[in-house]
Amino acid sequence: MIYSNKVSFRVWGNDALFTDPLTKVGGEKFSYSVPTYQALKGITESIYWKPTLIWVIDRCRVMKIIQTQSKGIRPIRYYSDQNDLSLYTYLHDVEYQVEAHFVWNENRADLIQDRNEHKHYDITKRMIERGGRRDIFLGARECQAYVEPCVFGEGTSPYDEVNEVALGLMFHSFIYPSESKDDHLKSCFWMPIMKKGVIEFIAPQDCSMIRELGKMSEKQFIPGVNMMMEER
């Protein structure tokens, strides 16, 4: 299906940390080799987002060779206010092309007057050109990143001649109550395959493994109180 509100952008930075949740338990984080759907959705929402819409990530293209770098970090211990010493393994010198589109959040019938596709699409394009509305980071706050417009597929990737790379079991995304019809937070996992440097994403609800993490109430947005209504 071709969407009229499809956008594409280039995002790059010195470091990235798309944390494998299995490595969080011991306090020493290790990055997945490619971005997760949730991380790319967060980047797109930092460029432009309103509760009226939901961003859908279509695909991602890896533009630089995948390489890692470990750094000594001093995080706060879980059960005390003292520092600990950990090793975090980051991706180093990364760049991606991302293609995405938005759909209306059908759970927000109270914002139906804000469903102006051309307005949101035009604002999104302007925000990409300006580097985003909020700070852009790659998986973790310390991994500052930058965005600019691009044409998806232009340029060369070191994986253009690599037919397939199986990436194993990966975290895909969260399903929040504000985007679903129940009051539970859910985590989604899948087994992606990168083909010629491109990862084609599936929808969160299509993932093979979905787990409920617990109850969560939907955040309320009230126009004029905690939400602005922009003009086009």
Q: Where are the domains of the chain?
A: 7-162
Inform me whether the pLDDT recorded for 226 exceeds 90: no
Between residues 184 and 127, which one has the greater pLDDT?
Answer: 127
pLDDT tens digits for 56-113? 999 999 999 999 999 887 776 666 677 777 888 999 999 999 999 999 998 888 889 9
What integer is the mean pLDDT of 160-187? 91
* pLDDT category of residue 4 using cuts at 50, 70 and 90: confident
Residue 64 has which token pair?
A: 């630089």
DSSP character string of 170-198: EEEEEE-GGGSSSSEEEEEEE--EEBTTE
Q: Are 167 and 191 in contact (CB under 8 A)?
A: yes
Inform me whether the pLDDT recorded for 232 exceeds 80: no
Q: Please state, rounded to an integer, the average pLDDT across all residues of the chain.
A: 89
Between residues 218 and 132, which one has the greater pLDDT?
Answer: 132
Topology at the third CATH level for domain 7-162 = Alpha-Beta Plaits (3.30.70)
Inform me whether the pLDDT recorded for 8 exceeds 80: yes
What pLDDT, on a 0 to 100 scale, did the predictor assign at position 78? 64
Q: pTM score, two decimals?
A: 0.88
Please state, for a pLDDT cut of 90, what percent of the chain lies above it: 69
* pLDDT category of residue 223 using cuts at 50, 70 and 90: low
Residue 230 has which token pair?
A: 């922009």
Please state, for a pLDDT cut of 70, what percent of the chain lies above it: 90
